[in-house]
Chain A
């Protein structure tokens, strides 16, 4: 059972938390029309890497706050815990963020206002 450091409460047992899966999945803006296929990248496709994974967790049986963490799926080591809406700060976390296929997906591009999409 993991020991997770809730940013509000500190170290707690994993059983107090629930895992919300992959972090940094941006919701496409309605103004940006997406094909069904591109939209499915947002709706259905989830990463499952062997190695560093950026996840969302919620301290369900505690303060009920959501936060992000970077976890090694092989060793289960938690590399860092960081707030929702922010980027990972460790080198490993940053690398994982950049390496994710989603960074180059149409769905993610569509999460930014249309005029800023580089054609």
Chain B
């Protein structure tokens, strides 16, 4: 049996479906609400206000608002397979089976051990984190545990797995109307009638905005919501209009690129499989109308954060929209007329309005007279100076108040109550305007920042523009939409403004929209009361924090924001920012306009990472490239490594072989018999055109103009700063045709760089570049038996193998497959790189392995390749180089042409600093202990016993165990390394072990003369 909905009104507003009960669970207890309820309204219907504990002090907090502005009621929803933290109860629609729980409390909402924090409020003053970090580090160590336990907002699922699906949707429209209230609906209607493609989006579950709550007046002689329903019906029927609900316009960016987060199935108890949980719209709108409405400001006084205290507008919304009377003995605290309507609503709903406390001295409005006539106690020139209670507001202090001097003038009267509704005026929702760097203007009349409408791309209307009066807002919406459409008409022939556009008529509203700005209500002892006068409820920032920040010298609004963390919680200060600026301005004795505002940044409300990621997760996050031989590698037990986007066979372990044993076997086999490497990932660029030779001559450091047809040459490419950029072998296929290879990871970058040079620097050169990386499969065959294997494989003329000099290329056939075979070597052995059209890759590989069997051919992976090349002292760009290494640093002077007039990087290499003898230079390292392998990236020092900080000599770039030398080998970049050969260095270890002792040697460890390579 669920508890009774004790606070549900008999009256039926029609906004929620009283015929359909909904069962849900909160903190383990079952409750009943109605279809259309939010979790907040359903809990309030049970008289429950307390729904969470605050972030810093773990103070009890209640439902405060009725929409996305909610700072307190953050809850966690438990799904069968995961949980979602920090959802706003005021926006979460209940459904059958919903399970939710409160956050930030231990062990329960009513008893929270951590709330002792509030007795030690001095532990968390403004700037607490900054100060803690600035003190000696040891203090931070002391505090850290305490802070970590106390802080943190919500908890995510333990396994971090989100089983839901999110999608991205791309769209274009002529006009986006953000906000589906009265102004938004009217603007959308005007625009839609012109034929423009219109999207109207609202974050609530239905269109209508504030009209869903305040239905007390007429539009065109009909109840306001009837007018709205008609407009909505019309809009929904038009093919050029999309009406989106539960869709938050989260971000407005350059050129009207809009992000909208649509909650598709979150409110459904049965979530159909074909629907995503959320849809992230990426919208490009020609024009944007911001009709995002306004949010009420709270009043700041001691104890204003107690459960049972809420915004006046929210209290009214719960009555009219959800049939819920949130409190039965109510105090209304206001500085404007609007809260009187809340008082009236409570009174008419059967509640007892204890007192209306108005900060204004002598306000004159019809509504005040009406209330007084009803016998309601209205006290003007008064203030609520404090609210009291433990888990719920129980009483307030009311005193005559001098707003000029900010102090009560008489002793306070104590008054009991169980509810307080407050109103400090309205803040237009300027977030989207502000995100675009739109300026804000302080309006003294309405005491709010409103947008400066200067842009051609977007414009604000209605409450979002500070036009709070309904009749004026509708007229503004009509005019603005017409002028936006007129602009569009000139750009788009399909759009035509309808000539007669009627402005919906309302009766004159006598409401006075001028609030009396009192930013902080102080008791007689402000030093005490300010500490519990909360400005930012979500981040627990108080008036005292802001004053302290000013005393400590923070005067800029941006600094105070960060120092006190006001406005930095997930609600981005929707209810707190302007109050904070007001208190700051008063403390600094400045006007609000002089004090300025902070910047709102996207998103408007927190947007789930899942929605932002969309389908780009798991294997779709980054595409994986595999070669045509991949299936063979897999079938033969290869372990893979990522090289750029490529998956390359790393090594092929056999049963009971560990990593090192596998590498040793593969390396040994290649040096003694033959090895086969899948080199298909090498970048390959086809270079064609009459100026190809000249072009290559300009981009490589060495000479390519003289390269004979059929010959290959190793080349080094620099960037204009003289630093090594890429390397590879390029072969001349014909007079004007070259075949370039690049590093596997650098292929795309090299092509882009060469294209850039051709398109920008040397537009006169006739050269055409084509990436052919994926058009060729490459098997690299090396070792003493390579020649015999190749010969056995040749299908036609086997003699081509006999006459095959080093660094040449042959166009021939192998196993009947057309092939380009290059006699080049990266292992230091006699080697052939066999290129075949990509689709023959697997056939070639399998054939080679089959024929090679009797020659003891072994497949080897990238790790063995690294060892083999390191034994020979061959560099790998990106391993021995890092963008700060010149060819001279690599001791490769021979590759830099002295004869060529120019090449990329030539002038930079001639800079005096490039010949600095203490530059880091490439050397080899041999450890004293042949079995000790130096970790790659480790730093070398000359004297390991020197005082800290130790001066570093350089770092180890490559390090392996060489099975051929039976010795650990390494390459390192050391300061002045070329002149240090023979010296001893030490490599200190992170784990506190003895530094590794090593000797600086030449980086060529094996076959220095290169006899094996030439065969």
- Give chain A's interface residues, CB within 8 Å of chain B: 1-3, 13-14, 20, 27-28, 30, 34, 36, 39, 43, 56, 58, 60, 64-66, 75-76, 84-85
* Cβ contacts under 8 Å, A3 to chain B: 254-255, 257, 284
CB pair B756–A66 under 8 Å, yes or no, is yes
CB pair A1–B906 under 8 Å, yes or no, is no
Chain B nearest CB, measured from A82 CB (Å): 13
* Cβ contacts under 8 Å, A76 to chain B: 254-255
CB pair A36–B912 under 8 Å, yes or no, is yes
* 0 or 1 for each of B924-935: is its CB under 8 Å from A? (1 = yes): 000000000000
Main secondary structure on A side of the interface with B: loop
Chain B nearest CB, measured from A3 CB (Å): 4
* Cβ contacts under 8 Å, B236 to chain A: none
CB pair B763–A43 under 8 Å, yes or no, is no
Chain B nearest CB, measured from A102 CB (Å): 16
* Cβ contacts under 8 Å, B760 to chain A: 20, 56, 66, 84-85
Complexed CA–CA distance, A28 and B907 (Å): 9
Any A CB within 8 A of the CB of B156: no
Chain A residue, CB-CB nearest to B906: A30
* Cβ contacts under 8 Å, B761 to chain A: 27
Whether A13 touches B257, Cβ cut-off 8 Å, given contacts A60-B752, A66-B756, is: yes
CB pair A43–B908 under 8 Å, yes or no, is yes
* Cβ contacts under 8 Å, B720 to chain A: 27, 43
* Cβ contacts under 8 Å, B906 to chain A: 30
Q: Of A39, A58, A84, which one neighbours B907 at CB under 8 angstroms?
A: A39
* Cβ contacts under 8 Å, B284 to chain A: 3, 13
Complexed CA–CA distance, A60 and B911 (Å): 33
CB pair B759–A65 under 8 Å, yes or no, is yes
Any A CB within 8 A of the CB of B411: no
CB pair A85–B756 under 8 Å, yes or no, is no
Complexed CA–CA distance, A14 and B256 (Å): 12
Complexed CA–CA distance, A58 and B749 (Å): 13
CB pair B759–A39 under 8 Å, yes or no, is no
Q: Of B752, B907, B912, which one neighbours A34 at CB under 8 angstroms?
A: B907
* Cβ contacts under 8 Å, A56 to chain B: 760
By Cβ-Cβ distance, the 4 closest A-B pairs, closest first, are: A3-B255, A1-B257, A30-B902, A66-B759
Complexed CA–CA distance, A12 and B198 (Å): 21
Q: Of A2, A13, A34, A84, which one neighbours B759 at CB under 8 angstroms?
A: A84
* Cβ contacts under 8 Å, A27 to chain B: 720, 761
Any A CB within 8 A of the CB of B901: yes
Chain A residue, CB-CB nearest to B253: A1
Complexed CA–CA distance, A28 and B901 (Å): 13
Complexed CA–CA distance, A14 and B255 (Å): 10
* 0 or 1 for each of B423-439: is its CB under 8 Å from A? (1 = yes): 00000000000000100
6 pairs, CB–CB < 8 Å, chain A vs chain B: A3-B284, A27-B761, A66-B755, A66-B756, A66-B759, A85-B763
* Cβ contacts under 8 Å, A13 to chain B: 257, 284
Complexed CA–CA distance, A85 and B755 (Å): 15
Chain A nearest CB, measured from B694 CB (Å): 14
* Cβ contacts under 8 Å, B908 to chain A: 39, 43
Complexed CA–CA distance, A16 and B199 (Å): 25
Chain B nearest CB, measured from A25 CB (Å): 10
Chain B nearest CB, measured from A37 CB (Å): 10
- Give chain B's interface residues, CB within 8 Å of chain A: 253-255, 257, 284, 437, 720-721, 752, 755-756, 759-761, 763, 901-902, 906-908, 911-913
Complexed CA–CA distance, A76 and B252 (Å): 14
* Cβ contacts under 8 Å, B253 to chain A: 1
CB pair B257–A64 under 8 Å, yes or no, is no
Complexed CA–CA distance, A13 and B913 (Å): 42
Complexed CA–CA distance, A20 and B755 (Å): 13
Chain A nearest CB, measured from B614 CB (Å): 14
Chain B nearest CB, measured from A70 CB (Å): 16
Chain A nearest CB, measured from B919 CB (Å): 16
CB pair B902–A84 under 8 Å, yes or no, is no
CB pair A43–B254 under 8 Å, yes or no, is no
Complexed CA–CA distance, A115 and B401 (Å): 85
Q: Of A14, A28, A39, A58, which one neighbours B756 at CB under 8 angstroms?
A: A58
Complexed CA–CA distance, A3 and B284 (Å): 9
Complexed CA–CA distance, A50 and B908 (Å): 30
CB pair B759–A1 under 8 Å, yes or no, is no
Whether A36 touches B911, Cβ cut-off 8 Å, given contacts A1-B255, A3-B254, is: yes
- New A-B contacts (15) at CB < 8 Å, excluding given A30-B907, A43-B908: A1-B254, A2-B257, A3-B254, A13-B284, A20-B756, A30-B906, A34-B907, A36-B911, A43-B720, A60-B752, A66-B755, A75-B437, A76-B254, A76-B255, A84-B760
Whether A39 touches B254, Cβ cut-off 8 Å, given contacts A3-B284, A27-B761, A84-B763, is: no
Chain A residue, CB-CB nearest to B763: A85
Chain A nearest CB, measured from B760 CB (Å): 5
Complexed CA–CA distance, A85 and B759 (Å): 9
Interface centre among B253, B760, B763 (most CB of A within 10 A): B760
Complexed CA–CA distance, A39 and B760 (Å): 19
* Cβ contacts under 8 Å, B752 to chain A: 58, 60
* Cβ contacts under 8 Å, B763 to chain A: 84-85
Whether A64 touches B755, Cβ cut-off 8 Å, given contacts A1-B254, A27-B761, A85-B763, is: yes
Complexed CA–CA distance, A34 and B906 (Å): 13
Chain A residue, CB-CB nearest to B256: A3
Complexed CA–CA distance, A94 and B350 (Å): 73
CB pair B721–A43 under 8 Å, yes or no, is yes
Complexed CA–CA distance, A56 and B752 (Å): 14
CB pair B257–A39 under 8 Å, yes or no, is no
* Cβ contacts under 8 Å, A84 to chain B: 759-760, 763
* Cβ contacts under 8 Å, A85 to chain B: 760, 763
Complexed CA–CA distance, A117 and B64 (Å): 74
Chain A nearest CB, measured from B358 CB (Å): 44
Complexed CA–CA distance, A75 and B912 (Å): 42
Chain B nearest CB, measured from A39 CB (Å): 6
Chain B residue, CB-CB nearest to A67: B759
* Cβ contacts under 8 Å, A30 to chain B: 901-902, 906-907
Complexed CA–CA distance, A3 and B901 (Å): 42
Chain B nearest CB, measured from A13 CB (Å): 7
Complexed CA–CA distance, A93 and B907 (Å): 31
Complexed CA–CA distance, A60 and B748 (Å): 11
Chain A residue, CB-CB nearest to B720: A43
Interface centre among A34, A36, A75 (most CB of B within 10 A): A36
* Cβ contacts under 8 Å, A36 to chain B: 911-913
Complexed CA–CA distance, A36 and B909 (Å): 11
Chain A nearest CB, measured from B751 CB (Å): 9
* Cβ contacts under 8 Å, A60 to chain B: 752
Chain A residue, CB-CB nearest to B914: A36
* Cβ contacts under 8 Å, A2 to chain B: 254-255, 257
Chain A nearest CB, measured from B622 CB (Å): 15
Chain A nearest CB, measured from B900 CB (Å): 9
Chain A residue, CB-CB nearest to B759: A66
* Cβ contacts under 8 Å, B912 to chain A: 36
Complexed CA–CA distance, A2 and B907 (Å): 37
* Cβ contacts under 8 Å, B255 to chain A: 1-3, 76
Complexed CA–CA distance, A30 and B755 (Å): 22
Complexed CA–CA distance, A49 and B193 (Å): 44
Complexed CA–CA distance, A11 and B814 (Å): 49
Chain B residue, CB-CB nearest to A4: B255
Complexed CA–CA distance, A39 and B902 (Å): 15
Chain A nearest CB, measured from B22 CB (Å): 40
CB pair B901–A39 under 8 Å, yes or no, is no
* Cβ contacts under 8 Å, A1 to chain B: 253-255, 257
Complexed CA–CA distance, A84 and B759 (Å): 8
Chain B nearest CB, measured from A100 CB (Å): 17
Chain A nearest CB, measured from B65 CB (Å): 32
Complexed CA–CA distance, A2 and B760 (Å): 23
Complexed CA–CA distance, A67 and B736 (Å): 28
Complexed CA–CA distance, A117 and B734 (Å): 40
* Cβ contacts under 8 Å, A65 to chain B: 759
Chain A residue, CB-CB nearest to B761: A27
* Cβ contacts under 8 Å, A43 to chain B: 720-721, 908
Complexed CA–CA distance, A44 and B911 (Å): 13
